[in-house]
Structure 1
Amino acid sequence: MKKLLVTGSSGLVGSEVCKHFHNLGWKIYGLDNNQRAVFFGEKGDTRWNQKRLENTLEKFHHIELDIRDREGVLKMVKEVAPDAIVHTAAQPSHDRAAAIPFDDFDTNAVGTFNLLEATRQYSTDIPFVHMSTNKVYGDAPNNIPMVELETRWDYADETYHTGIPETFTIDQSKHSLFGASKVAADISVQEYGRYFNMPTCVLRGGCLTGPSHSGVELHGFLSYLVKCNLDGTRYTVFGYKGKQVRDNIHSYDISRFIEEFIKAPRIAEVYNLGGGRENTCSILEAFKIAEKYSGKPMNYVYSDKNREGDHICYYSDLRKMKAHYPNWDITKSLDDTIREIVEAWQQRLEA
């Protein structure tokens, strides 16, 4: 039986990957130490998701370990002896990083390096998939000419009609400290692939979402927006008239792509992983879809101050992903995704 090691297994993407590969017959080793609760407080706690995995996945084994523990990581990888590794553990907040810069860098950059070196010492043949972020591009996408529409911004330059490609610059722009730590991890994963000829993959995620997300104000755009809509919490829109645009991809479709990569891995590949143009929405547009499924009006306030280094408009060009893995495509629409998030939060708030 094949063995998969998943870091950040109690998080949104990690838990979906655990479930997906378990259904494919793999034995799952999920590494998580609920660091999200440390970063974001009680509302970021993911123990509920860990318990869900332990209670529903027969071949799931939880590992309580911090990826900053170098010796622990080196020992753990050799003991598990996985056939593939999916690394989703991170300090995930653009905003939170500035308040905890050492924790952010040590988790995102050093933690990833610990895992890469542990993998190299164990085997240079197994696939290593890393969840990166579109924040590695910093605010450079804001330099693309924009057009302001009624409810959103969009690219005025036809070059980017299908979105941001993987060749877009990551240099000489404002990233946030989170973006900088993720750049370090991103480049390290590529370098281990090229230098040691390892099958590594960097997935530069847009808005990764789904019903298992423990969304908080500083991370988890759609999940937090829906939660605020349902419980009446006032949501703050930060700048850009609420017309800033993101592409949203369901964690199920992320897991499906990871499956395709692991089946046919490549050396040091990079993909922009998002919902693409068809799954884009602005904050104002997301309000309307959430209201449609919840039946409740959105309670929000507007702040003129945008987040530092934030994107005005960002969506992923999916053509490279589809060309390399033609069996993969988006299966979950934006409407379906938001409906699932509404239903999941309704259940959790009533529990």
Structure 2
Amino acid sequence: MKKLLVTGAAGLIGSEVVSHFCKHGWTVIGLDNNMRADFFGPGGDTLWNAKRLENEFENYSHHNVDIRDRKTIIDFIAKAKPNAIVHTAAQPSHDLAASRPFDDFDVNAVGTLNLLEATRLFSTEVPFVHMSTNKVYGDAPNNLNLVEKESRWDFADANYFNGIKESFTIDQSKHSIFGASKVAADVMVQEYGRYFNMPTCCLRGGCLTGPNHSGVELHGFLSYLIKCNLIEKEYTIFGYKGKQVRDNIHSYDVARFIEEFLNAPRVGEVYNLGGGRDNSTSILEAFDRIAAISGKPMKYVYSEQARSGDHMCYISDLSKMKAHYPNWSITKDLQKTFEEIFESWERRKL
């Protein structure tokens, strides 16, 4: 029976990966010390998700391990002997990174290095999947020619209609402190692949979302927006007239791509992982969609101050992913994703 090690196992993507591979008969080992609660307070607590996974799957074991603890990580991987590693643990917030830069870098960059070196010391044959972010491109996408439409910003250049490719520059732009720490991790994952010939890949996620997200204002765009609508809480739009665009990918489709990669791993690869144009939405468009589902109008206020390094329009070009792994495609459209998140918040009886 194959063994999968998942970091950040109680988070959105981590828990989806745990569920997916448990259902496919893998033994899954989860690492998560619930640092999201430290970062975001009670609203970010993921302990409920860890307990859910333990109750649901007999082939899952959960471990309270901090990826910053180098010796523990090296010893743990050597003892666990995983057949594959999926690294989803991270400090995910722009805003929080600026106020806690050491914590941000230690988790995102140093934690990733600890895992890579522990993997190399155990075996250079073990596939290593890293959840990176589109924020490695910094605010360079804002330098593209954009056109303002009624409810969204969009790319003016037809060459970008399908989105941003993996060859897009990551240099000479403002990343935010969070984006910079993720660049460090991203490049290190690539380097371990190329230098040590290890099967690694970086998944540069757009907006990753789904029903198991504990969305908060500082992180978790759709989840938090839908939660605000449900409890009739005022949502704050930060700049760009609320027309900033994100492509959203359901956590299930992320797990499915990871499955395809583990079935046929490649060395030092990078993929822009998002929902593509079909699953893109602006904040204003998201307001209308959730209001139609819930029957409640969205309450919001507007701040002229955009978040530092934020994207005005970001859509992932999925062509490389589909070319390398033609059995993979988006299965959860935007409407279904909204409905699942809404139903999940309702079940949690907010």
Structure 1: 5+ residue runs without aligned partners? none
**C-alpha offsets along residues 161-181 of structure 1, whole Å, 9 cap, x if unaligned?**
110000000000000000000
In the alignment, the residues of structure 1 paired with residue 40 and residue 119 of structure 2 have an alpha-carbon distance, to the nearest angstrom, of 29
In the alignment, the residues of structure 2 paired with residue 219 and residue 184 of structure 1 have an alpha-carbon distance, to the nearest angstrom, of 20
Q: Is 2:134 the partner of 1:147? A: no
In the alignment, the residues of structure 2 paired with residue 252 and residue 29 of structure 1 have an alpha-carbon distance, to the nearest angstrom, of 19
Question: Counterpart of 2:110?
Answer: 110
- Letter in structure 2 aligned against 1:216: V
Q: Is 2:161 the partner of 1:161? A: yes
**C-alpha offsets along residues 107-146 of structure 1, whole Å, 9 cap, x if unaligned?**
0000000000000000000110000000000000000000
SS in 2 for 1:349: coil
* Number of aligned positions between the proteins: 350
In the alignment, the residues of structure 2 paired with residue 340 and residue 42 of structure 1 have an alpha-carbon distance, to the nearest angstrom, of 22
In the alignment, the residues of structure 1 paired with residue 123 and residue 149 of structure 2 have an alpha-carbon distance, to the nearest angstrom, of 51
**Which runs of structure 1 show a deviation greater than 6 angstroms over 4 or more consecutive aligned residues?**
none
**C-alpha offsets along residues 213-244 of structure 1, whole Å, 9 cap, x if unaligned?**
00000000000000000011110000000000
In the alignment, the residues of structure 2 paired with residue 151 and residue 233 of structure 1 have an alpha-carbon distance, to the nearest angstrom, of 22
What does 1:215-230 align with in structure 2 at a 5 Å threshold?
A: 215-230=215-230
Considering only aligned residues, what root-mean-square deviation do their CA atoms show, in Å? 0.5
- Letter in structure 2 aligned against 1:343: E
Question: Counterpart of 1:204?
Answer: 204
Question: Counterpart of 2:20?
Answer: 20
Question: Counterpart of 2:122?
Answer: 122
In the alignment, the residues of structure 2 paired with residue 57 and residue 176 of structure 1 have an alpha-carbon distance, to the nearest angstrom, of 38
In the alignment, the residues of structure 1 paired with residue 100 and residue 43 of structure 2 have an alpha-carbon distance, to the nearest angstrom, of 18
In the alignment, the residues of structure 2 paired with residue 219 and residue 79 of structure 1 have an alpha-carbon distance, to the nearest angstrom, of 34
Q: Is 2:72 the partner of 1:72? A: yes
- Letter in structure 2 aligned against 1:222: L
- Letter in structure 2 aligned against 1:257: F
Q: Is 2:98 the partner of 1:98? A: yes
Question: Counterpart of 2:133?
Answer: 133
SS in 2 for 1:107: helix
SS in 1 for 2:72: helix
**C-alpha offsets along residues 55-85 of structure 1, whole Å, 9 cap, x if unaligned?**
0011000011100000000001011100000
SS in 2 for 1:281: strand
In the alignment, the residues of structure 1 paired with residue 83 and residue 202 of structure 2 have an alpha-carbon distance, to the nearest angstrom, of 18
Displacement of 1:159? 1.3
SS in 1 for 2:195: helix
Displacement of 1:327? 0.1
**C-alpha offsets along residues 17-62 of structure 1, whole Å, 9 cap, x if unaligned?**
0000011100000000000000001110000000000000110000
In the alignment, the residues of structure 2 paired with residue 90 and residue 349 of structure 1 have an alpha-carbon distance, to the nearest angstrom, of 27
TM-score w.r.t. length of structure 1: 0.99
- Identity of matched residues, %: 70
In the alignment, the residues of structure 2 paired with residue 296 and residue 122 of structure 1 have an alpha-carbon distance, to the nearest angstrom, of 53
In the alignment, the residues of structure 1 paired with residue 285 and residue 230 of structure 2 have an alpha-carbon distance, to the nearest angstrom, of 17
SS in 1 for 2:94: coil
What does 1:1-351 align with in structure 2 at a 5 Å threshold?
A: 1-349=1-349
Displacement of 1:101? 0.3
Displacement of 1:349? 2.1
- Letter in structure 1 aligned against 2:292: K
Structure 2: 5+ residue runs without aligned partners? none
**C-alpha offsets along residues 236-269 of structure 1, whole Å, 9 cap, x if unaligned?**
0000000000000000000000000000000000
